[in-house]
Amino acid sequence: MPLTVYNSLVRKLEPFQPVTEGRVHIYVCGPTVYASTHIGHAKTYVSFDVIVRYLRYSGYRVRYVQNITDVGHLLDSGEDRILKGAVRERVEPMELVERYTREYFEGMDALGVVRPDISPRASAHIPEQIEWIKRLLEKGHAYALNGSVYFDVRSFPAYGKLSGRLLEEQEGGARVGAREEKKHPEDFALWKNAEPEHILRWPSPWGWGFPGWHIECSAMSTKYLGETFDIHGGGVDNIFPHNECEIAQAEAATGKPFARYWLLTGSLTVGGVKMSKSLNNFVSLRDALTAYRPEAIRFFILSGNYRSPLDYSEEAMQGASRGWERLVGGYPALLQRLAALPPDSGPISSAASDLAEDVRGRFRRAMDEDFNAPAAIAVLFDFTREVNIRLAAEKAPGQKDLEQYAALYRELAGDVLGLLPKGDSGSRVRESSLIQLLAALRHEARARKDWALSDSIRDRLAEIGVTLEDGKEGTTWKIQ
């Protein structure tokens, strides 16, 4: 079955067809690095991490771009978030940016989020943004006024197509007091003039200033992914005005469709209210990571559909921790069983390969339906239950069967969902295979009556804490 995705641009499920066969170009709006990363960010970026992992698992070659906003994202008060943060922490703006960019990546690394292929910074793409603004001016979609440049929303009739907001509705609701100099209240800034005391400013054809927030995403996504690319993602709260403005800028300038599929994640809420820095109701990712295992945080996020809102509470997190333990608890049990089994050269039983095929098929069908992680997790719960039944059966599965089950855990729970503890997923099985290999070589040496070699293998394994024990049913081993 082909992959289908819920495309917010057309508000329905659609079969996924990339611009170039076998490749996916994806852009996700990244963080504004002016304060600590909180678990609301984690929800967005873990969700896209699993989307990207699954696309790669499905055989696509993916280029994943996620920007770092370090200029131009203003608060409702008109202050630049970065400059405000720099004053708060008494540091240079770029020092603040560096501090929170590192914190962001460290947090994401801890959560097992695979880094984007490109993490472009807005402040490092000022010339590109100026070029875009020039293009919009030339095409009559923008106007310059007092050293600032605004996008003329009326010049782009499709404005509002993503968020479904009509221009007439916006006029009524447009905030008064915002930039009186604009021709229409809903026009938005592409470039803003800046006074000499404004630290984050650059020279431009319109004088010293800085780019508006939205233009960075149009400029950087198309620079690295092409003018029309496959997927644009982000948190649903950015749909208006940010994403809407991105579309208007890009399609007005290029005359081509911008992103083909819009995938938007639901917000993380606390008591039903969106978690955000500005509302001061956030739990920092650092605090969450001291209280809970990273895999349990991922499990919590993946227990709901990426498009749905998810309510955070300590009870919900404790429930997720227990759920995660139940889900992946079968994996260490398998490894322990494997470690105790003698080497076996027999084939995989058909019962084991049938189970693996069934589980993989159901898992893929779940993920192919708009990356339905909760349904995929339910498949893994069934798998864990079935493996436990087989382990407890009178005729226990052989080594090859257990290896097959362990490999399936690594493939689905590990590689795709990122729910297996890091460092544990492959190394213990590789370790046990290596010991089995050495035990088999020693067995051959003994058969040739090469006692010197067989003793040497046994002694040197003992030196690194592995004890071989010869019994009636072959050699078993223990790790100290």
Instruction: Using CB under 5 A, list all residues that contact Zn ion.
Output: 29, 217
Ramachandran quadrant class, 158 (left: phi over 0; alpha: psi -120 to 50; beta: rest): alpha
Q: How far apart are CA 122 and CA 285, in angstroms?
A: 24
Integer angstrom CA distances of residue 208 from 79, 130, 149, 218, 318: 17, 12, 12, 21, 52
**What does R_g of the chain's alpha carbons equal in angstroms?**
28
Q: Can you tell me which residue has the tokens 């200033």?
A: 209
Contacts of 109 (CB under 8 A, 6+ apart): 115
Count of Cβ atoms closer than 10 Å to residue 473 Cβ: 8
Nearer to Zn ion, 24 or 264 (CB): 264
How far is residue 420's CA from residue 425's CA, in Å, rounded to a whole number?
6
Residue 97 Cβ, how far from Zn ion at the closest point, in Å?
Answer: 16
Report the nearest approach of Zn ion to the CB of residue 353 (Å): 46
- Minimum Å gap between C-beta 384 and Zn ion is 39
27 versus 292: smaller Cβ distance to Zn ion: 27
Cβ distance 423 to 359 under 8 Å? no
> How far apart are CB 239 and Zn ion at their closest, in Å?
11
Of 29 and 153, which has the nearer Cβ to Zn ion?
29
- What is the Cβ-side half-sphere exposure of residue 418, based on CA atoms within 13 angstroms? 27
Residue closer to Zn ion, measured from CB, 233 or 414: 233
- For Zn ion, the closer of residues 29 and 367 by Cβ is 29
Closest CA to 29 of 215, 170, 210: 215
Q: How far is the CB of 214 from Zn ion (least distance, A)?
A: 7
Separation CA 360–CA 413 (nearest Å): 11
Least separation in angstroms between residue 246's CB and Zn ion is 6
Distances (CA, A) of 433 to 84, 299, 307, 468: 56, 30, 41, 14
- Residues 6 or more apart from 278 whose CB is under 8 A from it? 75
Nearest distance in Å: CB 237, Zn ion: 12
Cβ atoms of residues 299 and 420 within 8 Å: no
Could you say which DSSP state residue 29 is in?
-
Residues with Cβ within 8 Å of 395's Cβ and at least 6 positions away in sequence, in order, are none
Query: How far apart are CB 218 and Zn ion at their closest, in Å?
Result: 9
* Strand positions, DSSP E, 327-419: none
Measured from the CB of residue 356, what is the shortest distance to Zn ion in angstroms?
A: 41
Of 217 and 373, nearer to Zn ion (C-beta) is: 217
Nearer to Zn ion by Cβ, of 110 and 239: the residue is 239
Of 3 and 245, which has the nearer Cβ to Zn ion? 245
Cβ of residue 405: shortest distance to Zn ion, in angstroms? Answer: 42
The residue (of 29 and 113) whose beta carbon lies closer to Zn ion is 29
Cβ nearer to Zn ion, comparing 239 with 375: 239
The two tokens of residue 29 are 């709006």
CB burial class (10 A; 0-12, 13-18, 19+) of residue 449? exposed
Strands (E), 219-275: 229-235, 259-265, 268-270, 273-274
Q: Which is nearest to 265 in space by CA: 41, 2, 421?
A: 41
- 413: DSSP letter: I
Angle, helices 126-138/244-254, rounded to nearest 10 degrees: 60
Minimum distance from residue 29 beta carbon to Zn ion (Å): 3
- Which residue lies nearer to Zn ion by CB, 69 or 269? 69
If DSSP codes are grouped into helix, strand and coil, which group holds residue 452? helix
User: Which residue lies nearer to Zn ion by CB, 29 or 438?
Assistant: 29
Find the shortest distance in angstroms from Cβ 215 to Zn ion.
10
